[in-house]
Structure 1
């Protein structure tokens, strides 16, 4: 963070608002000027927290990740490893998107589409977050396989890919077509798909 240490509570309020905006308008849509106007503070005061647009974007990604962990990962980890954890993980993600924890649906889905073909530190941070998520879903599936709750020949990488596809499609369809029923269809698809592996 540039400049003197600032009030951490105020910084978190700023970053949470930045994450909400980025979920709708993308990280490129974030600017210190726009954020200052949204929050009713001076541009110079806001600049003191971050120093550059890139630092603001990176800090916003970190804030979004902490929200994501609390909303999606921690509920899954409250369940013992196995098939029930796989189910809870999928449900936590669908709930997080459906409840519009971020107004633009899944923050990471939005910014991944924005940065997937770019280069630079922001793209690298987005890619790292996405890879962490894929690895976590894969590990959760593999744990269930090793415990004998999924078929022994289950390809954890493939099943994780398929589950994530169902979840992300619900997010897209619900947003683009204003169709809340997409979440129930995703839940049905996940339930039916998992049943073929047990």
Structure 2
């Protein structure tokens, strides 16, 4: 009986966080509220307080959940590609596919949240900064692997290339919500391909631009 209650509680918490991540891309992480979340889920606000006692706790939990979701939806599928430049490009393509999927109305939880909290201080700002650092660490690791395999030039600046690939994905988030989305995604894909093919001694491993 106790285990059943715990399982139901965990399912309810997960469903609430799924909804919170979606809502945060619609109204912003700062706009995420217990009232809004309760209304979306059709539950009482008091039920949500059983999981989080403050708005900040909810925001931090949503950030954790969003990062876990990103790992499941973007990172793990990309890591099935062959090591090297193809895996690096797969990561970019899976990120673009997630932005384009409509699963998150705002395109990307972190794209919207990091803009909103960039000039602030406090635990939420710090949590979002950690998520961005994790993303760059992953990108730079895949870039280093591609260099080791001879699929990127030895003089490739991993930090610079990581910045550029992230910038292309970030631009795709907001431009696709304001301009013609298919063209935005095509530009983001082409720009990454051209950059990677230009740095690769074996550009034929990548699709044609």
| TM-score normalised per structure 2 | 0.89
Residue correspondence of structure 1 range 140-179 to structure 2 within 5 A? 140-179=142-181
Distance 1:105 1:61 in 2: 15
**Corresponding residue for 1:21?**
23
**Corresponding residue for 1:104?**
106
Residue correspondence of structure 1 range 35-50 to structure 2 within 5 A? 35-50=37-52
Unmatched runs of 5 consecutive residues or more in structure 2: 201-209
Q: Which runs of 4+ in 1 moved over 6 A?
A: none
Choose from 81, 84, 87 the match for 2:83: 81
C-alpha RMSD of the superposition: 1.5
Any idea what the Cα deviations from partners look like across 1:148-173, whole Å, max 9, x if unmatched? 10011111111111111122112221
Q: Does structure 1 conserve the Cα–Cα contact (< 8 Å) formed by 2:106 and 2:173? A: no
Any idea what the Cα deviations from partners look like across 1:31-59, whole Å, max 9, x if unmatched? 11221122121111211111111111111
Unmatched runs of 5 consecutive residues or more in structure 1: none
Q: How many residues align?
A: 195
Any idea what the Cα deviations from partners look like across 1:45-94, whole Å, max 9, x if unmatched? 21111111111111111111111001111012212320111111111111
| TM-score normalised per structure 1 | 0.94
Distance 1:144 1:152 in 2: 9
Distance 1:76 1:11 in 2: 28
Distance 1:101 1:166 in 2: 20
Distance 1:46 1:159 in 2: 42
Distance 1:160 1:46 in 2: 38
Distance 1:47 1:112 in 2: 25
